[in-house]
Amino acid sequence: MRVLITGVGGFAGSHLADYLLASPDSETEVWGCDLSGKPRPYHPAELKVLAADLRDPEAARAVVEQARPDRIFHLAGQAFVGDSWADPWPTLETNLRSQVNLCEAVLAAGIEPRILVLGSAEEYGRVAPEELPVRETCPLRPDSPYALSKVGQDLLGLQYYLSHRLPIVRVRPFNHIGPRQNRKFVAPAFASQVAAIEAGQQPPVIRVGNLGARRDFTDVRDMVGAYTLALEHGEPGEVYNLGSGRSWSIRDLLDTLLGLSRAKITIETDPARLRPADVAEMVCDAARFRARTGWAPRISFEQTLRDLLDYERGLVRTVETESRRRASEVRRA
């Protein structure tokens, strides 16, 4: 089995590579592509990494021809809602063009790999309280440029299945968190500040946005397991929600991190962290996926945040060690 992960240098992509290469199936050969093509410090040694900007159709064709995969997990893209508000077009271009180029490359190569296309819970947008928990039949009301790009990816996946019979399975994951997530997202943004405060690198104050919003959080390591089940056992052309079925407020998340901290920390509201649009609550109904695969998250919310905070503490220690090393070199010079 040859597997290709697009966006392997990213948050979910790197955890998916870990998950696949830790599988007892030693015959799985895992390829990945990202913009740099350089293995990250956390990448397994067995991972084969290629450089590719999938917005370029030639680059997409080269990756598919070289890897000739049996399975494709398409995780590459611009994933931050805030960036899409600041400049909508790069998000739309990156997420839509990359997927079109990937599908066209598969058709040109004459192969028929099973393909997982990632939508997002953001596709549902303005969900009313009476529509919770959110089912796959809930209307799509995208309320950000990022959400619109994910609707486009979702429906492009359906179109290539209907038009070309590519065996594409679509998923709409709800919020997933854990180690390695970009600090633009709320959980690592808080955890990195807690770690920096503990190390004396910033004042004991955390600046926050809307703490009342409630979201369905799943550990990224559980989520990538769901991706593999979806691709192997999902029905091509179908779409599946992925999430825990429970919501936590952003205040719950912050309070849990503060409870794990060794420091006394105060909270201040930062207007710059408030979104132009924000839904009060999102909760996933993953009954369709559970019925198909039996999947359920295993890692607790508290354990995820503990692991995330420990990861951020490790990054702080690394920075401190490097700063001391450079200072020592300057003194010797």
Q: What are the structural domains of the chain?
A: 2-178+219-242 (3.40.50.720), 186-214+246-282+299-320 (3.90.25.10)
Integer CA distances (angstroms), 46 to 8, 22, 232, in order: 13, 10, 22
pLDDT at 1 over 80: yes
Residues near 95 by beta carbon (within 8 Å), at least 6 away in sequence: 77, 78, 149, 150, 152, 153
Three-state secondary-structure class, residue 248:
strand
pLDDT classification of 39: cutoffs 50, 70, 90 = confident
pLDDT digits (tens, 9 = 90+) for 109-131: 999 999 999 999 999 999 999 99
What pLDDT, on a 0 to 100 scale, did the predictor assign at position 272?
73
What pLDDT, on a 0 to 100 scale, did the predictor assign at position 199?
96
What pLDDT, on a 0 to 100 scale, did the predictor assign at position 321?
78
DSSP string, 19-70: HHHTSS-TT-EEEEEESS-PPPTTS-TT-EEEE--TTSHHHHHHHHHHH--S
Q: Which residue has the tokens 């999938």?
A: 54
Considering the entire predicted model, what is its pTM?
0.94
What pLDDT, on a 0 to 100 scale, did the predictor assign at position 275?
62
- 324 vs 294, more confident: 294
pLDDT digits (tens, 9 = 90+) for 213-268: 999 999 999 999 999 999 999 999 999 999 999 999 999 999 999 999 989 999 99
Q: Which residue has the tokens 């600090």?
A: 183
Report the percentage of the chain scoring pLDDT > 90.
87
What pLDDT, on a 0 to 100 scale, did the predictor assign at position 223?
98
What pLDDT, on a 0 to 100 scale, did the predictor assign at position 38?
87
pLDDT at 329 over 90: no
Q: Which residue has the tokens 């179109």?
A: 159
pLDDT at 23 over 90: no
pLDDT classification of 326: cutoffs 50, 70, 90 = confident
pLDDT classification of 132: cutoffs 50, 70, 90 = very high
Q: Left if phi > 0, otherwise alpha if psi is -120 to 50, otherwise beta: which for 205? A: beta
Q: How confident is the prediction for the chain on average, in pLDDT? A: 94
- 4 vs 277, more confident: 4
pLDDT digits (tens, 9 = 90+) for 150-181: 999 999 999 999 999 999 999 999 999 999 99
pLDDT at 327 over 80: no
CA distance 181 to 312: 10
Integer CA distances (angstroms), 222 to 235, 293, 295, in order: 20, 13, 9
**3-state DSSP: the chain helix, strand, coil percent, rounded to 5?**
45, 15, 35
pLDDT digits (tens, 9 = 90+) for 78-109: 999 989 999 999 999 999 999 999 999 999 99
What pLDDT, on a 0 to 100 scale, did the predictor assign at position 333?
63
pLDDT at 9 over 70: yes
Residues near 74 by beta carbon (within 8 Å), at least 6 away in sequence: 6, 7, 98, 99, 102, 115, 116, 117, 118
CA distance 238 to 292: 11
CA distance 250 to 290: 26
- 216 vs 321, more confident: 216
What pLDDT, on a 0 to 100 scale, did the predictor assign at position 25?
63
